[in-house]
Each structure stands twice: as C-alpha cells, then as structure tokens.
RNA sequence: GGCUCGGUGGCAGAGUGGUGAUGCAGCGGAUUGCAAAUCCGUCUACGCCGGUUCGAUUCCGACCCGAGCCUCCA
C-alpha cells in the first residue's frame, strides 16, 4: 500500500494524505508577482511543488496543478512607472522570463497558470458575495474584509486578533473598522491601472486573486495549497477567510509551506538586498544543478545557500552521470516508479534528502553491477532521478558540457590521440605532460579498457 | 510584547525510545605505468541542565543560542 504522508502546516503534523476525490487531485501553489527577475529563493517552492506534482501524478489518474501569476500589484505599478512603461509590457516580460527560468530548472509546466488581471470579474463577484454575507464593508472607496465576522479567523497561522494587536505593528487606517481588516478592493488614482466597479475605479487587494481563481478553476475545496512559509500570514490566512466566508466549504485539505533559502543564516529577500537571481546563477551552473541543490534539504528546513552547496550538487550529479555513462550503451529496462526506494522516500512528506541517499545507493549498485544486472540497475537509477526531475540529460553530453572559455572537444580529442601514442611508446613523461596540460584546463582524463575518456571537472 | 520553527560528526544533511543514515572532506587498502573513475575498510555526533524510563540524540520541563511571522516577501 503506497500511502503519501504530508505535513499540514495548519496543524496536526504529518498524516496520510486523503484526497477529496481520488480520481482528480487539485493543487494550487502561489506563483510570482512578475515585476522583476526571480531569485533562487523564489525558485524553491516551484521546485518543491513540482516534485510533489510528479509524485501525485504517479499516484493518481488526474492531477490539476494551478500556479498563478500575479500581474497586478502595487510593486508592479511602481516598477512600471520607474521603467516608464505600462504594466502589461512589464508583466509580460517578467512572466516570460519566469517561465524560462523555471523551465531551466526542469520544472514541468503547471496544468493551468491563471493570471490575476484575467480574473478581475471573478474577484469582484467574490467581493460582492462577501459584502452580501456581511463579511465585508465599503469604506472611503475601499472594500475591506471584516475579520471579526469570521469565528476562527487566525486559525491557520495560529494567532488571534488580540495577540496580533499586542505587537502594535498593525497598520491603523481611518477607513478600517478593525486594524486587522484587510483590503479586498482599493481605489486607483487616475494614473494608476484600474477597473470599474460598484465601488468606483480601483484594483484588487493582494489576497483576492487566489481565492477567486481557485474557485473558478478548481472549485470550492482543494486538496493541497502550497507556498513559502512567509505566506502563512497574512496571505493564506486572508485567502482562507475570503474563500471560506465567500463560498463556504473547508477550502483546503492540506496546507504546505516551504522554508526559506538563507544567505549566511539570514533569509534571502529583496528588502535585505542579498538575493541571487536564478538567471545569474544559470550563467555558472546548470538548471539541473540548481534544482538538485534546492532539493538537498528537506522542504520544511531552511537551506543555506552557498557556492559550496552548488559545487557539491554539481559534483554529486557528475557522479551519477558517470555511473550512467560507465554503464555504456546498456538499454535501460522499464522500471516501475512505485517500486523505487526514491519514490518511497518521497512518499514520506517529500523527504528529498532521503531520496537522494537512495539515489546514491542506486548509483553504487549500478557501478558494481555485472553485465546482466546493468540494464535493471541503470533503469532504477534513471527512474529514481526522473521522479526528482533530474538525470534526464545524456550522460556524455552532461560530462562534456560545452565551455565557451575552455578547450574545444576537437582539441581535447586530438590531445588524447597524441597521449595514446605516447603511452603506446611507453613515453610516460610525454603522456603525463599532456594530461597535466588538460588537467590545467579543467579537463579530467580517465583511462579504461577501451581507451581514454574525458570530462570537464 | 505575542506566535512559530530550529540547534546532529570538519562540512552538508536525514532519522530514531535500544546495532547502519547518506554525501563531501580525511585516513588505510584494492585497481592503475602514475593518475582518474570505481570498489572495500575506517575516524569524528546528537546545544546545556534536570525529569520520565531498564535504557533518552529521540518524550517532558527549564535554560542558552539561532531563525522566522505579526498587513512588502517564496
């Protein structure tokens, strides 16, 4: 019996995942606000939930995975103004770049990628419902959610209104009845983007789009809702309030939140100015290496980001690809993902470090395999890699990945021919000099029964 | 101030009421003309103090340290 265990951040710890409809799993993950390039911390939830998407697809006949694009937001308005362009041009550019970056990290496309600006009508409909039901009110051109109208407001994030006010960091505004009330709709100035509504020309508050889009595309109740830890409050708390009060229902079965990518023990964030964009990292490391690095810690633990982390990730992947390459042309047999120890590890709340440990065992088994065991061992390693979204490259291509600053393959091959000739003449000092020269250029030489091969180290 | 998480060997990082994580690095060996790759073996660990228990790194309590959220945030 293959059971998937997941940790619900709404409480209850780790428990067996019970789908609302085993024939159709529905998952929603908060995507980016598209006003600049995403950083490696933004990529973590995408990779984590992509991995979960793969596991779910292996377990259930149909999985709908929605990841939104927030393309209307005050940060977008400011960024567009700074660049002297309109928000559509800006958001289109960064939506495209986000998709490219995420594809580079071997993320599958989500089933649907709803955009906020395409759902303004649905958002206004939800706003009207909330007003109708007495959960929201109009004040000075704003529409606000009345937090006191919801019995268990704060349950998701484990806080209550009194505690929140104790911190006294809550924005107090004249138009709010309660300082904890949050905006559903706010007025736009004439030079701001806006949509006409019963409350005047304005734009949606931050949380509204997710509630409205989940309702429209996935229904009132979904199995899994994911995102970064910092979204628990206020974003997901408020989303939950809107959806539960507007549409009824329990909204989300399992809430999942990933921890941050840290820089020197501090969270990576735009405001701290310690971000590393995916795009700049891709200049130095392959997308697969970045993905593997992000999966090297459990998703609920902080991941400390460093050059060492990435170098280790690359070296480990090189090792896996070496095992695959050394297995030669052996055709991999078909392999059932469900039987993979890698898959079993992932069933335990997406334990990717354990899954990677299993991958090491599979690679070792492949290295030790006899000729008639190779096909199965190779298949097992590839199947294990596939569920993690790695090891999909051709091993030879991976190990000889082109390097514009390095020696070309033609030059290297010629040097190896020269070296082989020197070796044949037992001129080892000449042979070693060639190898040293190649080593100096970052090329590692391996001799074996059939001659010499090379890879970039 | 309120509310959450964490602290595991040189490093990264799982897990568990009682023998193994795993990887990198180190050390020893096999193999090699020498290497590389691979294989075999091997050292180093659970923040601090109490409690529960036959037995605690694991459960409970206090303490120390670190991180996060409290209306910008993955």
pLDDT, chain A, mean = 92
**Average pLDDT in the A30-52 region?**
96
The interface predicted TM-score of the complex, written ipTM, equals: 0.95
Task: Name the residues in A251-290 having a C-beta closer than 7 Å to nucleic acid strand B.
Answer: 258-262, 265-271
For residue range A322-343, list pLDDT tens digits in order: 999 999 877 777 777 788 999 9
Tell me what pLDDT residue A274 has. Answer: 85
Checking if the pLDDT of A168 tops 80, the result is no
What domains appear along chain A, each with residue ranges and CATH number? 20-263 (3.40.50.620), 319-399 (1.20.120), 403-457 (no CATH)
Token pair of A405 as six digits: 């600053």
> pTM above 0.90?
yes
* Structure letter (DSSP) for residue A235: I
Which residue in A253, A267, A250, A241 sits closest to A133, CA to CA?
A241
Nucleotides of B under 7 A from a protein CB: 1-5, 11-15, 21-24, 32-40, 66-74
Nucleotide nearest to A269 (CA to C1'): B73
Checking if the pLDDT of A271 tops 80, the result is no
* A400 vs A411: CA distance, rounded Å: 13
Tell me what pLDDT residue A457 has. Answer: 79
Bridge partners (DSSP) of residue A305 are A263
Checking if the pLDDT of A376 tops 80, the result is yes
User: In Å, what is the CA distance from A453 to each residue of A86, A179, A325, A374, A435?
Assistant: 54, 68, 11, 20, 12
Number of other CB atoms surrounding residue A200 within 10 Å: 15
For residue range A80-113, list pLDDT tens digits in order: 999 999 999 999 999 999 999 999 999 999 999 9
CA A80 / C1′ B58 distance in Å: 53
CA A413 / C1′ B28 distance in Å: 36
**Average pLDDT in the A398-406 region?**
82
Tell me what pLDDT residue A179 has. Answer: 86
Q: How confident is the model at residue A172 (pLDDT cuts 50, 70, 90)?
A: low
CA A419 / C1′ B21 distance in Å: 43
The C-alpha torsion from A8 through A13 and A18 to A21, rounded to 10°, is -10
Burial string for A221-230 (b: 16+ CB within 10 Å, else e) reads bbbbbbbbbe
For residue range A174-227, list pLDDT tens digits in order: 888 888 899 999 999 999 999 999 999 999 999 999 999 999 999 999 999 999
Tell me what pLDDT residue A199 has. Answer: 95
Checking if the pLDDT of A166 tops 70, the result is no
């Amino acid at each position: 019996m293959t059971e998937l265990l997941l940790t619900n951040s709404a409480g209850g710890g780790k428990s067996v995942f019970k789908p609302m409809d085993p024939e159709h799993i529905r998952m929603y993950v908060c995507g980016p606000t598209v006003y600049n390039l995403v950083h490696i911390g933004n990529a973590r939830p995408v990779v984590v939930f992509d991995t979960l998407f793969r596991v779910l697809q292996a377990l259930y006949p149909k999985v709908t995975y929605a990841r939104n694009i927030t393309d209307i937001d005050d940060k977008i308005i400011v960024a567009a103004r700074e660049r002297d362009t309109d928000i559509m041009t800006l958001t289109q550019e960064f939506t495209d770049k986000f998709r490219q970056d995420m594809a580079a990290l071997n993320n599958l496309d989500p089933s649907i990628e709803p955009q906020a600006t395409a759902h303004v009508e649905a958002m206004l409909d939800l706003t009207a419902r909330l007003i109708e039901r007495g959960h929201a009110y109009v004040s000075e051109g704003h529409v606000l959610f009345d937090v006191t109208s919801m019995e268990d407001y704060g349950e998701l994030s484990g806080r209550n209104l009194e505690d929140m006010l104790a911190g006294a960091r809550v924005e107090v505004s004249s138009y709010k009845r309660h300082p904890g009330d949050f905006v559903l709709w706010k007025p736009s100035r004439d030079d701001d983007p806006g949509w006409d509504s019963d409350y005047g020309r304005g734009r949606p508050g931050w949380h509204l789009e997710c509630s409205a889009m989940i309702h429209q595309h996935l229904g009132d109740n979904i199995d899994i809702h994911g995102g970064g830890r910092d979204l628990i409050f206020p974003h997901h708390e408020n989303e939950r309030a809107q959806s539960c009060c507007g549409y009824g229902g329990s909204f989300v079965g399992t809430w999942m939140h990933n921890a941050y990518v840290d820089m020197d023990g501090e969270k990576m964030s735009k405001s701290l100015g310690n971000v590393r964009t995916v795009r700049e990292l891709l200049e130095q490391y392959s997308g697969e290496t970045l993905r593997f690095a992000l999966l090297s810690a459990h998703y609920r633990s902080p991941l400390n980001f460093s050059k060492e982390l990435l170098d280790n990730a690359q070296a480990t992947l090189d090792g896996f690809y070496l095992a695959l390459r050394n297995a030669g042309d052996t055709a991999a047999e078909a392999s059932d993902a469900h039987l993979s120890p890698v898959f079993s590890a992932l069933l335990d709340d997406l334990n990717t470090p354990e899954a990677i440990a299993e991958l090491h065992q599979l690679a070792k088994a492949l290295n030790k395999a006899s000729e008639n065991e190779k096909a199965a061992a190779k298949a097992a390693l590839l199947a294990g890699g596939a569920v993690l979204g790695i090891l999909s490259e051709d091993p030879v291509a991976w190990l000889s990945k082109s390097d514009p600053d390095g020696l070309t393959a033609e030059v290297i091959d010629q040097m190896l021919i020269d070296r082989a000739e020197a070796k044949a003449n037992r001129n080892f000092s000449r042979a070693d000099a060639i190898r040293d020269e190649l080593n100096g250029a970052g090329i590692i030489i391996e001799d074996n029964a059939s001659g010499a091969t090379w890879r970039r180290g």
